Homo-oligomer: A and B are copies of this chain.
């Protein structure tokens, strides 16, 4: 059997790790106030029993199975129920609700684990010959519905798990370029790079359970993208297996070779072929890396400061600021005796209130600095000046250290809440600086109207997560206690309201999560009818039989 590890079939992350709140005294009162859920009395659902999961028998013609086994080896082809279930969904709220309902409309029929590019080519060849559908699978952390087969798919569906392709193949140290196999998970590839003194610098929230190939296929962005760039900037070349051969983009720093095929593959979610390896920009691990925390009086001041920082000569590695609601949430999830919460609640907030700041409006910000000690000092001085000009207040590196340690744990919280019937999910967008406050207000209004419509007490909060010259990404988290009757219907009302607000206020439907099935309904409003027409033409000409993850991004 394969040694590729997967997340829990029914939730985020690894078995044995879960969110708990016993050491966070502020958390239960916060949740009670936000969504009306009493954590101390609420009934928790049991962990579902895998034996109860209903999956139809696989469509797996013997000839196809034989061809696949020839391509990747007998032990790397399976129609095992657990493998099929694990490869059915990503980890969106919709995915978790459905998997917990134990009823799967359409699972992939066959899962294959190719060990090299030739094996991937063999799989593609066998699938094309058999008219089977191919869905590439990395870490399975997708939350845009990019991984699931369509319910009405009658052809055999093969999930191509790239998990065995996880090696750092080569570092070109003169150029700061590394060749890495597409199935390498974040921690795995960073460990291989760190051994030689390098880093990719790409740290999405999903880092521990997502892969290089997945990042490329969905246009991922990471926490330090302000410095290292989004994955679209980081990836300079790759190899993509297609029916008639391998598409090869050589690593070139910048090229004028017509419409960018590189930028067509980035974000293509498997529709143009299967990425087997990529050549990516890597950096020597910086001498110094530090995250400073700041407080701002309110959201408007904070956004103004972030804009001024983006325009300044400083180039921080992280610019992050939580709005009033999210700052409240952060303080509530802090442990009793540690970090910003204790300090803030004991003394700082009373001082600030004396100066007219209001607790529900105060915004917590993290700014990261990397480079030589001298560079860090200088760029921080520029930032400090801008913060001061916008009535902000630096509170040192303590909170940043804590943030850094727990940043990848947030998804566990969602399973914890779901155990008690509360839906928590995220939507993110990007917009020009001039429209950010408007987007923020519009999303709040839309979410609250949606909560009213479904008759639920709901919560929404937001942070700015990445800055660019002309704008920034806003990341929203929303939660409410779902009813039993139509939980996903209620979820749809809220999620749809938020996505529509993005569009109406001048934002995009996604800054870094991708389109999949989840955001596809808004694509035309985002990139225009003709934009979708051009993209559809690209897909249908590249894959006329619709074998490569069909009907994702555009139907």
Contact = CB atoms under 8 A, between A and B. Distances in A.
B175 A433 contact: yes
A432 B378 contact: no
A254 B432 CA distance: 10
Contact of A534 (B255, B264, B519): B264
A220 B256 CA distance: 7
A272 interface: yes
Interface in A517-555: 519, 523, 526-531, 533-538, 540-542, 553-554
A174 interface: yes
A240 B530 contact: yes
Interface string A432-443: 111100000000
A511 interface: yes
A500 interface: no
Given A433-B174, A530-B242, A512 B256 contact: yes
Given A249-B528, A307-B174, A264 B256 contact: no
A354 interface: no
Contact of A245 (B315, B530, B553): B530
Interface string A375-401: 100100000000000000000000000
Interface string A16-34: 0000000000000000000
Contact of A260 (B260, B272, B273, B284): B260
How many copies of this chain are found per oligomer? 2
A253 B430 contact: yes
Interface centre among A269, A284, A530, A537 (most CB of B within 10 A): A530
Nearest to A503: B250
A537 B538 contact: yes
B313 A371 contact: yes
A265 interface: yes
B256 A470 contact: no
Contact of A177 (B230, B268, B470): B470
A256 B514 contact: yes
A158 interface: no
A267 interface: yes
A221 interface: yes
A375 B263 CA distance: 34
A446 interface: no
A247 B515 CA distance: 19
A236 interface: yes
A256 B177 contact: no
Contact of A258 (B469, B472, B515): B515
A174 B431 CA distance: 12
A252 interface: yes
A266 interface: yes
Contact of A541 (B220, B248, B537, B553): B537
Interface string A192-234: 0000000000000000000000000011110000000010100
Given A240-B530, A247-B531, A432-B177, A509 B469 contact: no
A149 B537 CA distance: 25
A297 interface: no
A463 to B, nearest CB: 16
Contacts of A249: 527-528, 531
26 contacts: A175-B433, A175-B470, A176-B433, A176-B469, A219-B257, A220-B256, A232-B254, A242-B530, A244-B530, A245-B528, A247-B533, A249-B527, A254-B430, A254-B512, A255-B510, A256-B512, A257-B267, A257-B515, A259-B535, A260-B263, A262-B263, A313-B375, A533-B542, A534-B541, A540-B541, A541-B541
Given A242-B530, A250-B508, A255-B526, 18 more contacts: A219-B256, A248-B531, A249-B528, A249-B531, A254-B466, A257-B526, A258-B267, A258-B515, A258-B523, A259-B265, A260-B266, A260-B267, A261-B531, A281-B469, A281-B470, A315-B315, A534-B541, A537-B542
Q: Closest 3 interchain pairs by CB?
A: A537-B541, A263-B263, A253-B468
